[in-house]
Amino acid sequence: MLGYRSSFQTLREAESAVKPYARGGHENSANMALHLELNRAARPSDYAAFFYLRDRLTSIRKIFDLGGNVGNLYYCYQDYLQTREDLIWCVYDLPETLSQGRILAGRKNARNLQFTGDLRQAAEADLFIASGSLHYFDKSLPNLLEDLAARPKYILINRTPLTEGPEFAVVQDAGHIRVACMLYNRSKLLDNLASLGYGLVGEWQAAELSLPVLDRPSSTIRAYTGLWLEHR
Ligand SMILES: C[S@@+](CC[C@H](N)C(=O)[O-])C[C@H]1O[C@@H](n2cnc3c(N)ncnc32)[C@H](O)[C@@H]1O
């Protein structure tokens, strides 16, 4: 009865259920404009990230920004934080978003901002950011990191819906687009990151975001999560 509005076992299943109704999904051009607008000023969950970033940014030479869209966090964070002159901020995203990001970066003369479709670039980063993006990947973060030749010292996860129960997938209805996302288990995520050597330093709620789960109301995500981890 619920169609694409029900929950699914895998991200793939949710993706194929929503495909006819997705309206271009992540690569809808209105979505890129929306992200720039949303991050014209920092959102509540960004301030917790600033708390951890502030004292560490002088030692961070490269940032890998998973699902960094057209660079919206790069542009926003510059207004709040002092970054190194030689910082490289590398955005990983979908092809159409990357090309829009390159055009915008050229217009804004954003010389520290780079774009890539190659996940292996994360191996050279000091900081791995997954803000509002981890849940769109069918590989969990520990699996993504496992494949790298070297691992970043710091991890910032922000605006991510996590569950304490079994993992499952749903469709997010943002109005202008609909996209599938995976609800990863928080404890499993932290345990798997711990086995890669990452300790949890800070955790907060991204209370500006919630996610209804219509056929499992008790699994509804009332607030997304933010985490700061460091390699020990
Ligand atoms: C909600 S936006 C987050 C934007 C930004 N990081 C922030 O926190 O505001 C999610 C981003 O993940 C990207 N994304 C989703 N699935 C992806 C995939 N399979 N590969 C690369 N990027 C993806 C989308 O294109 C989009 O830019």
pLDDT in the model for residue 127: 98
C-alpha distances in Å from residue 73, one per residue of 19, 135, 227: 28, 18, 16
Question: What's the sign of the alpha-carbon dihedral 48, 167, 146, 144?
Answer: negative
pLDDT band at 85 (very low <50, low <70, confident <90, very high): very high
Q: Where are the domains of the chain?
A: 42-167+181-231
Single-letter amino acid, residue 157? I
pLDDT in the model for residue 34: 85
Ligand 1 atom with the shortest distance to the CA of 39 = 9
Yes or no: say if 27 and 94 are a contact pair by the CB < 8 Å rule: yes
Q: Which of 74, 76, 99, 136 to mutate to test the pocket of ligand 1 (most atoms within 8 A of CB)?
A: 136
pLDDT in the model for residue 126: 98
Q: What is the pLDDT of residues 16-38, one digit of tens each?
A: 999 988 998 998 888 888 888 88
Q: Scan for tokens 């600033």, then name that residue.
A: 50
Which CATH number describes the domain made up of 42-167+181-231? 3.40.50.150
Q: Scan for tokens 């749903």, then name that residue.
A: 170
Q: Which of 74, 96, 133 to mutate to test the pocket of ligand 1 (most atoms within 8 A of CB)?
A: 133
CB 69 near ligand 1, within 6 Å: yes
- CB-based contacts of 58-61 (< 8 A; 24+ apart in sequence): 58/82, 58/84, 59/126, 60/84, 60/87, 60/126, 60/127, 60/154, 61/86, 61/87, 61/88, 61/126
Ligand 1 atom with the shortest distance to the CA of 70 = 27
**pTM of the full structure:** 0.96
Calculate the average pLDDT of the chain. Answer: 95
Q: What is the pLDDT of residues 198-225, one digit of tens each?
A: 999 999 999 999 999 999 999 999 999 9
CB 76 near ligand 1, within 6 Å: no
Percentage of the chain beyond pLDDT 70 is 100
Q: What is the pLDDT of residues 102-146, one digit of tens each?
A: 999 999 999 999 999 999 999 999 999 999 999 999 999 999 999
Return d(Cα 208, Cα 170) in angstroms, integer: 19
Assigned token pair, 146? 């496992």
pLDDT band at 55 (very low <50, low <70, confident <90, very high): very high
